[in-house]
A and B are shown apart, each in its own frame.
Chain A
Amino acid sequence: MEKTLNQKAWFLVLPVFLLVAFSAVIPLMTVVNYSLQDTFGNNKFFWAGLEWYTELLHSERLWSAFGRQIIFSAIILAIEVPLGVFVALNMPKKGVWASLCLVLMALPLLIPWNVVGTIWQIFGRVDIGLLGHTLAALGIDYNYTRDPLAAWITIITMDVWHWTSLVALLSYAGLQSIPEAYYQAAKIDQASRWSVFWFIELPKMQGVLMIAILIRFMDSFMIYTEPFVVTGGGPGNATTFLSIDLVKMALGQFDLGPAAAFSLMYFLVVMLVSWVFYTVMTNLDKKAGY
């Protein structure tokens, strides 16, 4: 659709602009201000210059949290995207079963994040949880509060449980938009299942898959509540991701200066990644002719 040029449209956007400016710009300005100062409470601040930035850029703690975060997001994407596409390909196309699948699959998405954590905290416990108990009965030494590997596996399984449905539902919607005629043409050409997927289904899903990857990357990059409830960032620091570390610093120790500097660097990385994704996405849209 051709859009008309109309500067008065700004009046329609103004409420959103003001609201988001209030919720986003004022806090960000505050963060910038805090990041250059030191405080001992009572809103008394002292100029600290770039001390916090230098300190954080050389801090083992930040870089290792960053490393863990990257590994976590990479694993999440590597599991959830293919699995979600696979599930979507197997979903019934229409009828009662399709809506039943939709409802059941959407269920984990609607559970408060700390309850997701609680569910898996209980589920994985050796004494009272089904998963932990079963694994223990099979003779596998599994304890997510002591063993870093078990903690990672628990958290990744939890995230797969929680969010794969989102990828699946998005891909499913992309699949639904493929006209039946395409499949019939493929049948006439006697195309294999694989080539139907590779040449028809995957290109049609490209747009929604980009969005799924963007959202899953961003949300796993800022994950806080679920691992915090399950492991509290432990054992040791094994599952301390960026947000957990930041909240510990900001609200736990109330170290305003370092926490603010940390926030800003975190925010910059997020900005960069979302900009790259957004640009790629809009360019794909343009090619698709929206």
Chain B
Amino acid sequence: MMGWMAWTLPTAIFFAVIGALLLIMSVLAIRYPETPRMGILRMETTRGDRLFITLLGSAFICLAWLGLVGENLWWVLGVCFVYALAVFRWV
């Protein structure tokens, strides 16, 4: 039944991390309700928006890395992390 979905350990971890992030954000949203703020993109963003911008942006950073630099993705993870910090700080 589940065979066709072809689960592997890395993808399972990947989705678990995404799921955990969403869960953490939900818990945070309950504890400390989200307040929108104006960032450098000159639009209101909440914490959830910033998470979305981070994830989508990271996907493009990874693709660009793959296309321009090469295989080793551990480095790009660092780049994505810096990007995430920047998004949460300034956007």
Residues of chain A at the chain B interface (Cβ within 8 Å): 26, 29-30, 32-34, 36-37, 39, 43, 45, 47, 50, 53-54, 57-58, 265, 268, 271-272, 275, 279, 283
In the complex, are the beta carbons of A272 and B60 less than 8 A apart?
yes
How far apart sit A28 and B11, CA to CA, in the bound complex (Å)? 12
Q: How many A-B residue pairs have CB under 8 A?
A: 53
Whether A37 and B8, one on each chain, are in contact in the complex, defined by CB atoms closer than 8 angstroms, is: yes
CB proximity of A49 to chain B, nearest CB, Å? 8
Instruction: Tell me which of A43, A47, A283 contacts B8 (CB under 8 A).
Output: A47
- Cβ B67 vs Cβ A57 within 8 A: yes
Residues of B within 8 A of A (CB): 3-8, 10-11, 14-15, 43, 52, 56, 59-60, 63, 66-67, 70-71, 73
A272 to B52, CA, bound (A): 10
| A93 CA to B62 CA, complexed, in Å | 52
Secondary structure of the A contact surface, majority rule: helix
Task: Please measure, in the bound complex, the distance between the C-alpha atom of A30 and the C-alpha atom of B5, giving whole angstroms.
Answer: 5
- 8 residue pairs, one from A and one from B, having the closest CB atoms: A57-B67, A45-B6, A33-B6, A30-B5, A33-B11, A43-B3, A53-B66, A268-B59
B51 to A: closest C-beta gap in Å: 13
Enumerate chain A residues within 8 angstroms of B5, measured Cβ to Cβ. Answer: 26, 29-30, 33
Give the distance to chain A from B37, nearest Cβ to Cβ, in Å. 15
Nearest CB in chain A: distance from B76 CB, A: 11
User: Which B-chain residue is minimally distant from A29 (CB atoms)?
Assistant: B15
The complex places the Cα of A30 from the Cα of B56 at a distance, in Å, of: 19
- A30, B4: Cβ atoms closer than 8 Å: yes
- Tell me whether A30 and B6 are in contact (CB under 8 A): yes
- State A265–B73 Cα separation when bound (angstroms): 17
Sample (6) of A-B pairs whose CB atoms are under 8 Å apart: A29-B15, A37-B8, A39-B6, A43-B3, A54-B70, A265-B63
Whole-angstrom CA separation of A57 from B62 in the bound complex: 12
Contact A33 B59 (CB under 8 A): no
Question: Is A50 touching B73 in the complex (CB atoms < 8 A)?
Answer: yes
Least CB distance, A215 to chain B, in whole angstroms: 21
In angstroms, Cα B9 to Cα A36, docked, is 11
Task: Please give, as numbers and ranges, the residues of chain A lying within 8 Å of B8 by CB-CB distance.
Answer: 33, 36-37, 45, 47
Q: Which residues of B contact A54 (CB under 8 A)?
A: 66-67, 70-71
Closest to A47 in B: B8
Q: How far is the CB of A157 from chain B (nearest CB, A)?
A: 35
Please determine whether A283 and B43 come into contact, CB atoms closer than 8 angstroms.
Answer: yes
Q: How far is the CA of A30 from the CA of B12 in the complex (A)?
A: 11
Other-chain contact of A58, B11, B67, B73 (Cβ < 8 Å): B67
In the assembled complex, how far is the CB of residue B6 from the closest CB belonging to chain A, in whole angstroms? 4
Say whether B11 contacts A32, CB under 8 Å: yes
When distances are taken between beta carbons in the complex, the residues of chain A under 8 Å from B71 are 50, 54
A58 to B5, alpha carbons, bound, how many Å?
A: 27
Assembled-state Cα–Cα distance A268/B56 (Å): 7
Within the complex, the shortest CB–CB distance from B75 to chain A, in Å, comes to: 14
Distance in angstroms between the alpha carbons of A54 and B72 in the assembled complex: 11
Check A36/B11 contact, CB under 8 A, given A45-B6, A54-B66, A57-B63. yes
Bound state CA distance, A218 and B83, in angstroms? 28
**Which residues of the partner chain A approach B56 to less than 8 Å between Cβ atoms?**
268, 271-272, 275
| Contact in complex: B66, A57 (CB < 8 Å) | yes
Q: Which residues of chain A come closer than 8 Å to B63, judged between CB atoms?
A: 53, 57, 265, 268
